Chains A and B, each alone.
Chain A
Amino acid sequence: MDPIIATMIRLSGRSWWQARYSDGRVLSEWDTLTGKLLLPGGNGKSSRWEEIPKKGMVGLRLLCPNGIAGELEAPEGHRFFQLKVGKKTVAIRFNGTVTGNQSERIQEAHIIGVIIDAEGNCLCRAWETTNEIVERGKTTQTIPVGANYLVDNIKQWEHNLFLRMRGIVHVFGVSRQIWGNTQDTITIMGRWPETIKGSPSAIPNNTEYLITAPRNQLIEFRDNIFNMRYRNIGRLSLEVQQLKV
């Protein structure tokens, strides 16, 4: 593969499909983007899989941002499918003062598959993009202090938090409220970066934050298009995927 394309895929942070046809043609997902720049950059809108020619498609690859590719093959067209799995969530508050889970939308996996028999059994590859929560905390924290390590304790907490949140928010300090010699209340002082919010605004006090780490991996599994067990997907729409079984 062209090293520039490979680099762009890596930088895009997402997986891309690439189809191969019996006449030697190769159709990449970025060739179907609706924008003018037909390269694998960012999360650009693609044309729809259901509109991609399936006749003569004999290979389907999943090009992953870690440099690995998964490929599936079939002797004839109308055997491949491609889909993404995700969730839309709505936060609930029930009892008492809360800083609850946020409503959000996430993509968990990008799947390609090929049907291997008349019963609908299939072989799949999936790029899983689930984020793991590695830390949950509040922008305001109460920490115990001792007479001999008051300053060091605070500095260590501030230093560690700064390192963990660097790149997520712009932290420029902490404010400290002393409650005697047993505990302090410390609040992160900083601003959200422009890339997260429309304009930088101060981080609110006593607000829950989550630090997540991507758990990205390419996996292979066997399933059945009439009742996909993977993430409880259920029956695939044959019409949407233009599958012939």
Chain B
Amino acid sequence: MADFTTLTMEGNDGTIASPHWVEVGPTAAHEVRWSDSATQKNVASASWPVMTRPAATSIVSYTYAYTADATGNGFISNQGAVNCPAFSKDNYLWARWNWDNLGTFASAPIFTAYPSSAHGAITRGDGSLLGGKTPDTGAGGSEKSYLKGNAWGRVGSGGAPGAGPANAPAVTDGTVGSVSPAAGANWLANFQDLMGDSDYITAPFTPAATTADTWSLEFALFTGPNETPALYQVILCLKYTWT
């Protein structure tokens, strides 16, 4: 099958001026980690610190790009030369999907998240990380995921982002169903919540056939006093079709 040989998510553990892209998946042991501590570079997963549930909703400030169990730096940390900086929407070269020239997309790719590798349905408002919980992530019946994403309106060969989205992510951000940035040099004005097949981002383009390219992303994680304490092992996901 003429699938892509390489289709990976990359995180920037360098700087905005000099990006350093490292693969955070889907190769095994590559992953994205979050913490409320800025000093968690090169920490084995077995020693990853527990985060205490906060008294008020807040962003989980520090995001790390891991390429092996005990090998990883903070996003935008100048390859670990400085402690992981707190999330900022203005770190516009944050992450991207990157694919080779061996496959052809048959439709626009979708960026979302699932609670586990079973890719199961999510119950809105169930208190889980992706289900959200009122009042933390919205009113009852329209709760959003604690995980938010944003995406760029064109592929990298058409021009990578030169600035961040208009608005910083908020814990109640999100729209039921699919949203897409306007085609071209545009982010979504507001972040979208990532909730499996319920709330997600669809690219405004089908990438060109057999052409290597990238799709720029930002993502941020929130937590809150009504989130159910649990061991969360969710996955970021690119849903796509190919010929």
> Which residues does A use to contact B, with CB under 8 Å?
14, 43, 45-50, 81-105, 107, 132-133, 210, 228, 231-237, 239-241
A95, B51: Cβ atoms under 8 Å? yes
A94, B118: Cβ atoms under 8 Å? no
C-alpha gap A105/B23 in the complex (Å): 14
C-alpha gap A236/B107 in the complex (Å): 5
B48, A93: Cβ atoms under 8 Å? yes
On chain B, the residues within 8 Å of A91 by CB distance are 25, 30-32, 233, 235
Interface bracket on B: 35 or more
> Which residues does B use to contact A, with CB under 8 Å?
1-3, 7-9, 24-34, 45-51, 60, 66, 97, 104-108, 110, 113-114, 116-119, 129, 178, 197, 200, 202, 206, 209-210, 221, 231-243
B50, A103: Cβ atoms under 8 Å? no
C-alpha gap A173/B236 in the complex (Å): 36
Can you pick out 30 interface pairs between chain A and chain B where the beta carbons lie within 8 Å of each other? A49-B2, A83-B106, A83-B242, A84-B243, A88-B8, A88-B97, A89-B26, A89-B114, A89-B236, A89-B238, A92-B232, A92-B233, A93-B32, A93-B48, A94-B34, A94-B221, A95-B231, A96-B231, A97-B46, A97-B48, A101-B117, A103-B25, A103-B27, A103-B31, A105-B26, A231-B197, A231-B239, A234-B107, A240-B104, A240-B106
Option from A46, A92, A132 in Cβ contact (under 8 Å) with B1: A46
C-alpha gap A182/B241 in the complex (Å): 52
Known pairs A86-B3, A89-B237; A94 contacts B60 (CB<8 A): yes
CB distance from A11 to the nearest CB of B (A): 16
Known pairs A84-B241, A104-B117; A98 contacts B9 (CB<8 A): no
On chain B, the residues within 8 Å of A231 by CB distance are 197, 239
C-alpha gap A14/B240 in the complex (Å): 19
Known: A85-B239, A234-B202. 18 other contacts (CB 8 A): A45-B1, A46-B1, A48-B2, A49-B2, A83-B106, A89-B235, A89-B237, A92-B33, A92-B235, A93-B45, A94-B233, A95-B232, A97-B48, A103-B27, A104-B26, A228-B107, A233-B241, A240-B104
Interface centre among B49, B106, B234 (most CB of A within 10 A): B106
CB distance from A162 to the nearest CB of B (A): 24
CB distance from B145 to the nearest CB of A (A): 12
C-alpha gap A92/B206 in the complex (Å): 27
C-alpha gap A91/B106 in the complex (Å): 25
C-alpha gap A233/B178 in the complex (Å): 11
B60, closest chain A residue (CB): A94
B117, A98: Cβ atoms under 8 Å? no
C-alpha gap A87/B178 in the complex (Å): 17
C-alpha gap A83/B28 in the complex (Å): 26
C-alpha gap A101/B129 in the complex (Å): 15
Option from A45, A88, A234, A239 in Cβ contact (under 8 Å) with B2: A45
Known pairs A90-B31, A237-B105; A133 contacts B231 (CB<8 A): no
CB distance from A94 to the nearest CB of B (A): 5
Known pairs A95-B231, A98-B231, A241-B106; A87 contacts B25 (CB<8 A): no
Known pairs A43-B1, A240-B105, A241-B106; A88 contacts B26 (CB<8 A): yes
C-alpha gap A91/B69 in the complex (Å): 12
On chain B, the residues within 8 Å of A50 by CB distance are 104, 209, 243
CB distance from B172 to the nearest CB of A (A): 20
B47, A103: Cβ atoms under 8 Å? no
A101, B197: Cβ atoms under 8 Å? no
C-alpha gap A91/B237 in the complex (Å): 9
B237, A232: Cβ atoms under 8 Å? no
A32, closest chain B residue (CB): B2
B106, closest chain A residue (CB): A83
A45, closest chain B residue (CB): B2
C-alpha gap A47/B3 in the complex (Å): 10
On chain B, the residues within 8 Å of A49 by CB distance are 2, 104, 243
B48, A98: Cβ atoms under 8 Å? yes
A105, closest chain B residue (CB): B26
B102, closest chain A residue (CB): A45
Known pairs A88-B7, A94-B221; A235 contacts B60 (CB<8 A): no
Known pairs A84-B241, A231-B239; A237 contacts B117 (CB<8 A): no
B26, A103: Cβ atoms under 8 Å? yes
B178, A232: Cβ atoms under 8 Å? yes
- What 6 pairs between A and B have smallest CB-CB spacing? A90-B25, A103-B25, A49-B243, A83-B106, A103-B26, A91-B31
